[in-house]
Amino acid sequence: MEMAKINELKRIAANIRLGILEEVYSASSGHPGGSLSIADILAYLYFVEMKVDPKNPDWEDRDRLVLSKGHTAPALYATLAERGFFSKEELKGFRNINSFLQGHPDMKHTPGVDMTTGSLGLGISAACGMALASKLQNKDFRVYSILGDGEVEEGQVWEAAMFAAHYNLDNLCAFIDFNGLQIDGKITEVIDPTPIDKKFEAFNWNVVVIDGNNPEEIEAAVENAKACKGKPTAVICKTIKGYGVSFMENQASWHGTAPNKEQYEQAVAEITASIK
Amino acid sequence: MADKIATREAYGNALAEFGEKYNIVVLDADLAAATKTGVFKKKFPERFFDCGIAEGNMVSVAAGLAAAGMIPFASSFAMFTAGRAFEPIRNAIGYPHLNVKIGATHAGITVGEDGATHQCLEDIGTMRTIPGMTIINPADAVEARAAVEAAILHKGPVYLRFGRMATPVLFDQADYKFELGKGITMAEGKDVTIVATGIMVNIALEARELLKNEGIDARVINIHTIKPLDEELIVTAARETGAIVTAEEHNIIGGLGAAVCECLAGTCPTPVKRVGVNDEFGRSGKVPPLLEMYGLTAANIAANAKAAIALKK
């Protein structure tokens, strides 16, 4: 990947992170930690890879993204706003009673949201249904999904994993945000779901393990998934929860906590400085 | 009239029949032989997907199919859809109001020998609490067939409730017309109204004969669509007959009886007696003694009809 493209993706990801911070700060609630960790994945998907049309969000042939870890809606909304699906001004209304930006993604009211999610484990199944629909309709749209590493503790994720492999859904690519933390602490201490890569391999998926905050590695994983025939791909993304904000990084306590004014200003300063 | 066909049988046949006319997709959870979706599978193998014993995934896959423009039918027993998969149905289908049809067979106590774990008596209750969910509980095979097509033509989530046991055919397919959300007055009457659904419609008609022998003129209404409820028909019946008895193969909590009471309480307070399973679990057994044991009989409906009449002011 050329340096200019890397820098551009880093700039976009930083803008997404600023959007995330604005949302959770404005709402005084929301989930910054896991939102910050997936900003680089979303930046790559929406600004390089996915066929989408912000002017026609319901375009039938578009690629889809199902945010299975729906609590990181701030990251998706900031990405959609950055991509032009709606005004960035809307981000201030996140979780507000008059806003279409619900606490968790709502496909009926938010332009660009492809699936309603929030209850963990359901999104990846719905993504399977969309990937199957693409094949049944002889279309070539691809389906992406982002799951949490805590989310894979849900049994339904593995029901979906069986289904996707059994029906050879090679147009499905699932990113697992392996930041190592969930609400109650380290995933290995709460109820250890590791090794996640070996589990997906055992479920007959094509598996790639990458640094999920590195645009070049994200690109290589997406290209690997597209080249793989007959199998769905799981991209295990080693990420840093709270990425880019020093005091939020690797802290489970920032899973679902909003920053106060002082913290917000410091966080914005750090993200802004990172792209200067 | 002498024919007996299970509504699940009619469901499978209807899927195969309407699969020619409409681009439906059918999912099942390792029960295709029992839910009768196997009939569709045989005819349209390329549009049938077995999800294995994983009902939460099945209904969520159906949500994804619908989100991408397909019309999926997701089938399993009532217990494993409305019961086990309640939350995925609520969040992945109901909340985004996706165009998924849930074909739930083996509802109620007439599952018989398999016993309480498989006899779903709560499904109308759970499904009724989901905003925008349409619930259809057909009375016979003809109505079941028509309900399948109505579900295909309706845009939005539909829960279709079918039974295991072969039951009498009440309608003539040639002149039967199904209207979603509209009850059917099966017999006129002025003293009391029996509001029944599913297999209890036929038993309600038998109860009407018992009452007639005692000089009581009972109206019988078939409510095939439990949600949205035909409130107009029920309120009119309440006004005109002054007493109601409901009959359903479901817990008396949360089902048709509850829906009728909720409807009447705020519009036309009327004595209502509810015939159904009295807030208890089922058990293994042959169907006829089970129906007898749990009071799902013409005699019990007739007794409750008289009790409702006695409550008239």
Judge whether B87 is closer than 8 Å to chain A, CB to CB. yes
**Count of C-beta atoms within a 10 Å radius of residue A108:** 12
Single-letter residue type at B141? A
Tell me if A159 and B56 make a contact (CB, 8 A cut-off): yes
Judged against a pLDDT cut of 80, whether residue A250 lies above it is answered with: yes
Cα dihedral sign for B47, B53, B59, B60?
A: negative
Tell me if A107 and B96 make a contact (CB, 8 A cut-off): yes
Bridge-based pairing state of the strands B101-105 and B158-161:
parallel
Gap between the Cα atoms of A63 and A112, Å rounded: 11
CATH topology identical between B4-168 and B184-310:
yes
* Cβ neighbours for A276, distance < 8 A, ≥ 6 positions apart: none
Report the gap between the CA of B1 and the closest CA in chain A (Å).
Answer: 41
Mean pLDDT within A205-234: 98
Rounded to the nearest 10 degrees, the angle between the axes of helix B7-18 and helix B141-153 is 40
* Cβ neighbours for B192, distance < 8 A, ≥ 6 positions apart: B211, B216, B217, B218, B219, B241, B242, B243, B244, B245, B305, B308, B309
Nearest to A133 among B51, B69, B95 (CB): B69
Report the gap between the CA of B55 and the closest CA in chain A (Å).
Answer: 9
What pLDDT, on the 0 to 100 scale, is given for residue B156? Answer: 98
Question: Which pair of tokens denotes residue B20?
Answer: 């020619």
With contact defined as beta carbons under 8 Å apart, do A120 and A68 qualify? yes
Tell me if B96 and A116 make a contact (CB, 8 A cut-off): yes
Nearest to B60 among A118, A126, A136 (CB): A126
Gap between the Cα atoms of A244 and A249, Å rounded: 7
Domain segments of chain B: what residues?
A: 4-168, 184-310
Q: What would the pLDDT profile of A89-136 be if each residue is shown by its tens digit?
A: 999 999 999 999 999 999 999 999 999 999 999 999 999 999 999 999
Average pLDDT, chain A: 97
Give how far Cα B174 sits from Cα of A54, B150, B222, Å: 50, 16, 19
Q: What would the pLDDT profile of A4-15 be if each residue is shown by its tens digit?
A: 999 999 999 999
Interface of B with A in 5-34 (CB under 8 A): 25
Pick the closest to residue B40 from B152, B177, B159, B179 (CA basis): B152
User: Which chain A residues have a beta carbon less than 8 Å from that of B68?
Assistant: 64, 129-130, 133-134, 137
- Owner of token pair 């002054």: B242
Q: What is the pTM of this model?
A: 0.97
Gap between the Cα atoms of A68 and A72, Å rounded: 9
Gap between the Cα atoms of A148 and A30, Å rounded: 16
Tell me if A128 and B87 make a contact (CB, 8 A cut-off): no
CATH of domain A3-274: 3.40.50.970
With contact defined as beta carbons under 8 Å apart, do A11 and A81 qualify? no
Report the gap between the CA of A118 and the closest CA in chain B (Å).
Answer: 8
**Count of C-beta atoms within a 10 Å radius of residue B311:** 12
Pick the closest to residue B162 from B116, B227, B106 (CA basis): B106
Judge whether B132 is closer than 8 Å to chain A, CB to CB. no
Residues of chain B with pLDDT under 50: none
User: Which chain A residues have a beta carbon less than 8 Å from that of B65?
Assistant: 129-130, 132-133, 136
Gap between the Cα atoms of B298 and B247, Å rounded: 10
Nearest to B97 among A66, A108, A127 (CB): A108
The full DSSP string for A109-146 is: TSTT--S---STTHHHHHHHHHHHHHHHTT----EEEE
Mean pLDDT within A6-30: 97
User: Which chain B residues have a beta carbon less than 8 Å from that of A121?
Assistant: 56
What pLDDT, on the 0 to 100 scale, is given for residue B18? Answer: 98
Domain segments of chain A: what residues?
A: 3-274
What pLDDT, on the 0 to 100 scale, is given for residue B313? Answer: 77
User: Which chain B residues have a beta carbon less than 8 Å from that of A114?
Assistant: 67
Nearest to A159 among B57, B64, B92 (CB): B57
Give how far Cα A70 sits from Cα of A16, A124, B284, B296, Å: 16, 11, 42, 45
Single-letter residue type at B302? A
Report the gap between the CA of A108 and the closest CA in chain B (Å).
Answer: 6
Pick the residue from chain B with its C-alpha nearest to A158.
B57
What pLDDT, on the 0 to 100 scale, is given for residue A276? Answer: 83
Nearest to A163 among B51, B66, B70 (CB): B51
A265, containing H or E segment: helix A261-274
Pick the residue from chain A with its C-alpha nearest to B49.
A167
Tell me if B61 and A121 make a contact (CB, 8 A cut-off): no
Share of chain A above pLDDT 70, in %: 100
Judge whether B85 is closer than 8 Å to chain A, CB to CB. no
With contact defined as beta carbons under 8 Å apart, do B130 and B94 qualify? yes
A186, containing H or E segment: strand A185-186
What pLDDT, on the 0 to 100 scale, is given for residue B208? Answer: 98
Q: Which residue numbers of B are catalytic? A: 55
What pLDDT, on the 0 to 100 scale, is given for residue B295? Answer: 98
Gap between the Cα atoms of B36 and B49, Å rounded: 14
Gap between the Cα atoms of A26 and A94, Å rounded: 7
Gap between the Cα atoms of A164 and A144, Å rounded: 13
Pick the residue from chain A with its C-alpha nearest to B27.
A129
Nearest to B65 among A114, A116, A133 (CB): A133
**Count of C-beta atoms within a 10 Å radius of residue A95:** 19
B15, containing H or E segment: helix B7-18
Gap between the Cα atoms of A132 and A123, Å rounded: 14
Report the gap between the CA of B308 and the closest CA in chain A (Å).
Answer: 45
Tell me if B52 and A162 make a contact (CB, 8 A cut-off): yes
What does DSSP assign to residue B250? Answer: E
Q: What would the pLDDT profile of B238-286 be if each residue is shown by its tens digit?
A: 999 999 999 999 999 999 999 999 999 999 999 999 999 999 999 999 9
With contact defined as beta carbons under 8 Å apart, do B196 and B223 qualify? yes
Gap between the Cα atoms of B209 and B302, Å rounded: 9
Fold of the domain built from segment(s) B184-310? Rossmann fold (3.40.50)
CATH of domain B4-168: 3.40.50.970
**Is B75 in a helix, a strand, or coil?**
strand
Report the gap between the CA of B14 and the closest CA in chain A (Å).
Answer: 21
For residue B105, the cross-strand partners are: B77
What pLDDT, on the 0 to 100 scale, is given for residue B2? Answer: 56
